[in-house]
Structure formats: structure tokens, C-alpha cells
Amino acid sequence: MSDQAIVEKLKAKFSSEVLNVVEFRGETTVTVNKEQIVEICTFMRDKFGFNLLCDLCGVDYMGTSPRFMVVYNLYNIATKKRIRIKAPVEEKNANIDTVSTVWGTANWHERECWDLMGIKFNNHPDLRRILMPADWEGHPLRKDYPVQGPDREPYQGRLS
Amino acid sequence: MAANTETMTINMGPQHPSTHGVLQLILELDGEIVVKATPHIGFLHRGIEKLSEHRTYHQTIPLTDRLDYLAPMSNNLGYVLAVEKLLGITDEIPERVQRIRVIMAELTRLKSHLVWLACHALDIGAMTVFLYCFRERECITDIYEKVSGARMTSNYFRVGGLAEDLPDGLEGDIRDFVESMPAHIEEYEGLLTGNKIWQKRTIGVGEISAEAAIDIGITGPALRASGVDWDLRRDNPYSGYEDYDFDVPVREGCDTFDRYKVRLDEMRQSTRIILQALDKLKPGPILADCPKVVLPAKQDVVNNIESLIHHFKIVTEGFKTEPGEIYQGVEAPKGELGFYLVADGSAYPFRMKIRPPSFVNLQGLPQMVEGKLLADVIAVIGTLDIVLGEIDR
């Protein structure tokens, strides 16, 4: 099934949830509302066979609203197809439902996203920091976290 | 008198010879049975994703060497392919570059699998294999040194090509080594496959079904030993892998022994691929014809003003990309290594997310060891073939 057909079926099922569809370098990215992310992911897995969640991560678009995007890179082992789902998350009260019930592998990915990006995953079975020490303050991959370390001047933009 | 049934919690790592780096496992034991295993990672976190946001695309290549430091060229390959896809120059890459990349990536697979076999066997008590494997690994390290000057952190691939062409005579050296390799693999098999102790320590140990493995995200040889016939080199080919004739070893046993067999068969297939690539290797350019991305030849920089300008611009500011986002996965020795790049149109990655195979594979460890013997934990850590450099990034 082509990416367009998948997107059409997704739109038919979740008409008010699909915000945007972009194709770039042959890869399809579908942006959806975060409210029904678990239902959408379950639909993608059961209906289109995206049985492997390759990767889950957060992206910080500081200065825009909503500030964060949670990105799901999906793969279908049977048809060897990829597709990407994104869900925007507001800065205030940054949270989204966990998809670890859909793919078990999301567990550690979501812990990492919480640890480094500070996005909370509702109903996550074990939402602890994973890479940083348990008593660490702040979320290092946020754009306002200085690359030099926590006690330095905040990031002011690129040098060149 | 009633038996005492209290469980005991012990700490394994982060300084323990068989955790393959700084992995800490909190094990709750009931006698010798593991009740619960909790991995703790992050001791080697260097913030590679954060650092890459403050470096140009080229400056990030050396950081990727330090992910899976036992397979640096595979990481280089995944990263440069991702940047090339982002730039839209995938079709511009010269044939010679693609062939050399495949040769080096497959040598890297051999190198990584040799360290895996050496350490895995050593952990389970077969020390001789360690010495044999490191003997062959040394040959690959020598090849690395000849092409890149470094024995481990190679930093050999460039966006659009290679740092340098192969030195004279190296093709013959690679061919000699690779032709001798199948006999060496027989040697390792002779020491292990029929060995009763090896069989007792591996058959039926660390079993995981195909469904459970996919759910937890396990990829690479560990997934293929659970009966899933999937290899990115064949199924989503990159860098010209579609030109080569090779088999994807798949086994149904789901256990440590079958993962061992799958990896050994993969090494045999790697030698086939390298020999085919050497046969097809023809002289040609080692950099794409993309003057805005690729550094010009030194001779041109001193003789021609356009090249001087390109050189200056690329060195001082790097090259800019279109805004967009891409994901590129490659079949690294340990599984699917993915790079998700978000570009905002500047010379720096806006966000680089690495999907390290070891990180995801390690997540499967608790369900592979819980309810099993403590000694099996050692076998399972070895069979998962983890490298903490890429787990912690």
C-alpha cells in the first residue's frame, strides 16, 4: 500500500486529528493531534502492519507554539515501508500519552525523551531518568539548556 | 524448620569484566534464579546529540565514530548517508565511493563480530577463541590504519565521498585477508560449535520469541535468530547493496546458540560481499561532483578562485541544507542504526536523533533473563552484543 493510500485511510478514520502531511525526499510525515495518539498508533500497527517502532524522540522548536514535537518513526517488517508520525506538545504542561502499550520498545525511548527533553508520558509504567543521573536538574536537549553546561550562559543563537 | 525464602539484591557492574563496558545491572536473586533484572545505563553519556546541534554537518562525523566504537565505519556510513539524503545528493555518489564504503562497512561487520565472539566466548569460559579472534581483528585494524590513519576511530567517510582513496596495494591486502577468513571461521566453529560446554551454556539460554523481539524493538542478528527474515541491506538497500549476491542467515532457535550461528554465517556472507565489491571496484573519483558540499582538491584551491571560495566557505561556515527531516537506517553489525535528522536550513543539524541498536536490544535483557540462572545473565549480555558507547551516546 502506498504512503498516500495509508494517509487517506488515516484521514478517513481520524479526520479531525490529522493536521498536516508532508513529503520530503520520498518520506512521508503525518502530523496528528496528541489527544488520540494511542488510538492512532494502534490503528497504524493493526491496520497497516507497522509492527516496529524504530525510534521515538522529541524535537524542541523553541520560540514557536506548540514548542515540542514528539516523533514516531514506524517500520513495517513485512512490506519494508517506513512512515513518520508527529504530534505537537505545548510547552506548558508538556505531556502526551504513552505508546508503550502499543509497542513495548517505547518504554525506554519515552524515558529518554522525558530525561533529555522534559516531555512527560502519561500512564508510562516506569518514567524515570535513563541517561542522566536520577538527581539531575533540567533537560539537556532543550534548546535553552546551554551546551557548555548548566551553570553557563544560556544559548544565544549560532555563532555563524 | 521452614526454609528462609528471602530474595537477595546484588549489584553487577558498572565495573565488571563481563558487562562489556559501564553497564550496571541490579539483580534480585532467589538463590541462583534471577527474579528481577534492572539495567542502569548512562555512565558513558557524552551528549553527542546535543553536541551535534552546535557543529557543522562535517564536524559531527568524528562524533559518530565514538558511538559504537567497535564498528566506527558503520556509524560513519549511517550518518553520511543520512546527510546525503537530506541534501538530496544520494544519486550523485560515485560508484567507486559506494563500493569502498561497502567494503569498509563489511570489514567493520567482521571486526565487530570478531570482538563479540571473542568476548562472548571468554565470558562463558572459552579463552582460546579470544586470542584467535583478536589475531584476525588485528588484520582489519591494520587495514583501518592504512586507509584512515586511525585504528579505531576511523573518521574515513565524508559527506559526498571519502577522505582519501585506498592506498596502493591495499586492495590486494584486503583480498588476501578476506580469502583467508572462511578458514578462520571454521577454526572458531571447530572450537565452539560441537563443544559440549559451549552447547550447555548457549542452547535454550536467553530465549525470546519473534513477536516479543519485535515488540521490544530488537533488530539485527538477534532478531534474525528468532526467525524474522529481515535485513536492511537487502530490503531497503543503500550504497549499492542491491548489486551484490548474498544470503541473509535466519534461524528459528531464538536462543543464544542460534544467535551465535547467525553471526558466524553473517561473517561468511560479509566475506562474499567484500570479494564481489573488490571484483567490481574500478578506478574513479572518490568525491561527488557537488562543489557546494564537497571540499575541492588542494591543487584546485591554489590554482582557481572558485575552488578557493568553495573551500573557504565550506571550512568556515559549512554547507547549508534545505529545511526538512529524514530518517536513514543502516544494517550495523548490531542491528538497525538509524539517524533522524531535522534541518532548519542552516549549516548545523537542528536535531539529530540516533537510534542505537544496542540501546534497544538491551531493553530486551530483563525478559530474557528473569526466571533463569544468574550465570545465564553473562551469556545473554554477550549474545546481545551491546556496546555502551552507543547506548549512552
* Residues B4-14: tens digit of each pLDDT: 778 889 988 78
**Are residues A160 and B347, on separate chains, in Cβ contact within 8 Å?**
yes
Q: Which candidate in A23, A24, A147 is best for mutational testing of the B interface (most B CBs within 10 A)?
A: A24
pLDDT in tens, A17-37: 888 888 888 889 999 988 889
How high does pLDDT run on average in chain A?
Answer: 87
At which residue does the C-alpha cell 530490503 appear? B235
Cβ-Cβ contacts under 8 Å, A29 against chain B: 325
Cβ-Cβ contacts under 8 Å, B393 against chain A: 131
Whether the per-residue pLDDT at B110 is higher than 90: the answer is: yes
Do B338 and B328 meet the contact criterion of CB atoms below 8 Å apart? yes
DSSP string, B281-338: -----SB-S-TTTSPPPHHHHHH-HHHHHHHHHHHHH-----SEEEEEEEEETTEEEE
What's B131-148 look like in SS3? HHHHHHHHHHHHHHHHHH
| Least Cα separation, residue B155 to chain A (angstroms) | 23
Q: What is the CA radius of gyration of chain B?
A: 22
pLDDT at A157 (0 to 100): 60
Angle in degrees, CA B101, B184, B181, rounded to 5: 25
Cβ-Cβ contacts under 8 Å, B329 against chain A: 54, 75, 82
Residue B385 phi/psi, 5-degree rounding, is 55, 60
By a Cβ cutoff of 8 Å, what residues of chain A touch chain B?
A: 24-25, 27, 29, 51-55, 57, 59-60, 71, 73, 75, 77, 80, 82, 84, 103-105, 107-109, 116, 129-133, 140-141, 145, 147, 158, 160
What are the cell numbers at B97?
A: 565511493
d(CA B142, CA B70): 14
Whether the per-residue pLDDT at A149 is higher than 50: the answer is: yes
Cβ-Cβ contacts under 8 Å, A77 against chain B: 214, 228, 230
| Least Cα separation, residue A159 to chain B (angstroms) | 9
pLDDT (mean) for B283-312: 87
Cβ-Cβ contacts under 8 Å, A54 against chain B: 217, 327, 329, 336, 338, 355
Of the partner residues A77, A82, A133, the one whose CB lies closest to the CB of residue B228: A77
% of chain B beyond a pLDDT of 90 = 51
Whether the per-residue pLDDT at A12 is higher than 90: the answer is: no
Whether the per-residue pLDDT at B270 is higher than 90: the answer is: yes
What are the cell numbers at B77?
A: 556510513
Residue B33 phi/psi, 5-degree rounding, is -95, 135
| Least Cα separation, residue A12 to chain B (angstroms) | 25
CA B270 to chain centre: 13
Do B137 and B115 meet the contact criterion of CB atoms below 8 Å apart? yes
How high does pLDDT run on average in chain B?
Answer: 90
Whether the per-residue pLDDT at A160 is higher than 60: the answer is: no
Do B13 and B20 meet the contact criterion of CB atoms below 8 Å apart? no
The helix (H) or strand (E) run that includes residue B353 is strand B349-355
Cβ-Cβ contacts under 8 Å, A25 against chain B: 85-86, 88, 324, 326
User: Strands (DSSP E) along chain A, which ranges?
Assistant: 18-24, 27-32, 52-60, 68-76, 81-89, 95-97, 120-122
Higher pLDDT, B15 or B220: B220
d(CA B101, CA B107): 10
Which pLDDT band holds residue B260 (cuts at 50, 70, 90)? Answer: very high
**Are residues B45 and A132, on separate chains, in Cβ contact within 8 Å?**
yes
Which pLDDT band holds residue A154 (cuts at 50, 70, 90)? Answer: low
The helix (H) or strand (E) run that includes residue B9 is strand B8-12
pLDDT at A11 (0 to 100): 83
Do A98 and A124 meet the contact criterion of CB atoms below 8 Å apart? yes
Cβ-Cβ contacts under 8 Å, A99 against chain B: none
pLDDT at B258 (0 to 100): 92
| Least Cα separation, residue B299 to chain A (angstroms) | 28
| Least Cα separation, residue B43 to chain A (angstroms) | 7
pLDDT at A155 (0 to 100): 59
pLDDT in tens, A62-86: 888 899 999 999 999 989 999 999 9
| Least Cα separation, residue A53 to chain B (angstroms) | 7
Q: Quick one: B125 exposed, middle or buried, by C-beta within 10 A (0-12, 13-18, 19+)? A: exposed
Do B285 and B100 meet the contact criterion of CB atoms below 8 Å apart? no
Residue B374 phi/psi, 5-degree rounding, is -60, -40
Whether the per-residue pLDDT at A1 is higher than 90: the answer is: no
Report the chain A residue with the minimal C-alpha distance to residue B39.
Answer: A130
Whether the per-residue pLDDT at B145 is higher than 50: the answer is: yes
What are the cell numbers at B78?
A: 549511517
Of the partner residues A25, A71, A147, the one whose CB lies closest to the CB of residue B51: A147
Of the partner residues B214, B316, B359, the one whose CB lies closest to the CB of residue A51: B214
Whether the per-residue pLDDT at B1 is higher than 70: the answer is: no
Of the partner residues B216, B317, B350, the one whose CB lies closest to the CB of residue A160: B317
| Least Cα separation, residue B234 to chain A (angstroms) | 10
pLDDT (mean) for B264-286: 92
Q: Which residue in B44, B78, B76 sits closest to B359, CA to CA?
A: B44
Whether the per-residue pLDDT at A156 is higher than 70: the answer is: no
Of the partner residues A25, A55, A141, the one whose CB lies closest to the CB of residue B88: A25
Higher pLDDT, B296 or A111: A111
At which residue does the C-alpha cell 531518568 appear? A129
Whether the per-residue pLDDT at B16 is higher than 80: the answer is: no
